[in-house]
A and B are shown apart, each in its own frame.
Chain A
Amino acid sequence: MDISFVIEKFILVAIIFGISLLIAMYSTYAERKVAAFLQDRLGPDRAGPFGILQPLADGVKMFMKEEIVPANSSKWLFMVGPGLAMLTACIGTAVIPWGSAMTIGGKVIPLQVTDINVGILYIFGVVSLGVYGVMIGGWASNNKYSLLSAIRAASQNISYEIAMGLSIIALLLVTGTMSLKEITEQQHGWHWNVLYQPLGFLIFMVCSFAETNRAPFDLPECETELIGGYHTEYSSMKLGFYLFAEYINMFVSSAVMATLYFGGYNYPGMDFMAQLLGPTWAPLFGTAVFFAKIFAFIFFFMWVRWTIPRFRYDQLMHLGWKVLIPLAIANIIITGIVIAFLEKF
Chain B
Amino acid sequence: MEPLTSKKKVLEQKPLTLAERMYLPAIAKGMSITISHFFKKEATIRYPEVEREFSTNFRGMHSLKRDEDGRERCTACGLCALSCPAEAITMIAAERKPEEKALYREEKYASVYEINMLRCIFCGLCEEACPKEAIYLDGPIVPADYLRKDFIYGKDKLVEAPLEKK
**Chain A residues engaging chain B, CB cutoff 8 angstroms:** 34, 36-42, 45, 303-304, 306-308
**Is residue B46 within 8 Å, beta carbon to beta carbon, of the partner chain?**
yes
- A304–B42 touching, CB < 8 Å: no
Q: Which of B33, B42, B46 contacts A36 (CB 8 A)?
A: B42
Near A by CB (< 8 A), chain B positions 109-132 give: none
Q: Which of B35, B40, B41 contacts A303 (CB 8 A)?
A: B35
- B31–A39 touching, CB < 8 Å: no
Query: Which B residues touch A306, using CB under 8 A?
Result: 34
Query: Which B residues touch A39, using CB under 8 A?
Result: 37
**Is residue B146 within 8 Å, beta carbon to beta carbon, of the partner chain?**
no
Q: Which 7 A-B pairs have the closest CB atoms?
A: A42-B44, A307-B34, A38-B34, A307-B30, A37-B38, A40-B42, A307-B31
**Chain B residues engaging chain A, CB cutoff 8 angstroms:** 27, 30-31, 33-35, 37-38, 40-44, 46
Taking the closest CB of chain B, its distance from the CB of A139, in whole angstroms, is: 33
- A303–B46 touching, CB < 8 Å: no
Given A45-B46, A308-B27, A40:B40 Cβ within 8 A: yes
- A41–B38 touching, CB < 8 Å: no
Using CB atoms, name the residue of chain A closest to B44: A42
Q: Which of A40, A42, A45 contacts B37 (CB 8 A)?
A: A40
CA–CA, A303 to B32, complex, Å?
A: 10
CA–CA, A37 to B42, complex, Å?
A: 7
Taking the closest CB of chain B, its distance from the CB of A203, in whole angstroms, is: 12
- B35–A42 touching, CB < 8 Å: no
CA–CA, A38 to B34, complex, Å?
A: 6
- A308–B30 touching, CB < 8 Å: yes
CA–CA, A308 to B41, complex, Å?
A: 22
- B34–A41 touching, CB < 8 Å: no
Interchain Cβ contacts under 8 Å between A and B, 27 examples: A34-B38, A36-B42, A37-B38, A37-B42, A38-B34, A38-B35, A38-B37, A38-B38, A40-B37, A40-B43, A40-B44, A41-B42, A41-B43, A41-B44, A42-B44, A42-B46, A45-B46, A303-B34, A303-B35, A304-B31, A306-B34, A307-B27, A307-B30, A307-B31, A307-B33, A307-B34, A308-B31
Taking the closest CB of chain B, its distance from the CB of A240, in whole angstroms, is: 27
CA–CA, A304 to B41, complex, Å?
A: 21
Query: Which B residues touch A308, using CB under 8 A?
Result: 27, 30-31
CA–CA, A198 to B31, complex, Å?
A: 19
CA–CA, A306 to B33, complex, Å?
A: 11
Query: Which A residues touch B31, using CB under 8 A?
Result: 303-304, 307-308
- B42–A42 touching, CB < 8 Å: yes
Given contacts A39-B37, A42-B42, A307-B30, 20 further A-B contacts (CB under 8 A): A34-B38, A36-B42, A37-B37, A37-B38, A37-B42, A38-B35, A40-B37, A40-B40, A40-B42, A41-B42, A41-B44, A42-B44, A42-B46, A45-B46, A303-B31, A303-B35, A306-B34, A307-B33, A308-B30, A308-B31
Query: Which B residues touch A307, using CB under 8 A?
Result: 27, 30-31, 33-34
